[in-house]
Structure 1
């Protein structure tokens, strides 16, 4: 099922009004950031949260969750997981998962600036 990134963004905004997220257009989709670090990809394939460790494994364990893959010829993500459609309709549950992604982002080291 194809998703609309703007509809996914509205679902995130509704689920986490207490979390300061910024949204930037990226490659036909939207990337959500917390504290300047990416936490979610919103695209036509769905809402994918960036998680690591036990939280990543727990989300993948939910029925309908799977690693993000933008297309059949594209690589499978090691850190982004597509949330099941049922989670999009459950704001309290989605809130918990977005908060986990934001917490993971806060712990992630800052990216090094590229040398020119």
Structure 2
């Protein structure tokens, strides 16, 4: 195969549109559910991760802030909302929700699934 934009597009090599997913997490004894819109990992995510680390930030918080959006693609979090720095009284996002958001980002982006080359 020749590496061309058309071939890459046909293969799905671009991150594409937001993906809607339902999530579920526990907070204390209660189970909560929500619908989220996830931007699949892409070139921009990689650059955001690198920029965050270089600036002394938190790459995990930056990833959640970049990938979790409203239905129009606008971020619903800033990294400081995730870490708790935006509002020290509110504190950081709880463990259960944080892990569920990271899980759904990985799921939408195909992380953890071994890609087998097509013959």
Greater RCO (CA < 8 Å, at least 6 residues apart): 1
**Greater per-residue helix proportion:** 2
Please classify the TM superposition score into its range, dividing by the shorter chain length.
Answer: under 0.3
**Greater per-residue strand proportion:** 1
TM-score, normalised to structure 2, is 0.27
TM-score, normalised to structure 1, is 0.28
Q: Give the structure with higher Rg (CA).
A: 2
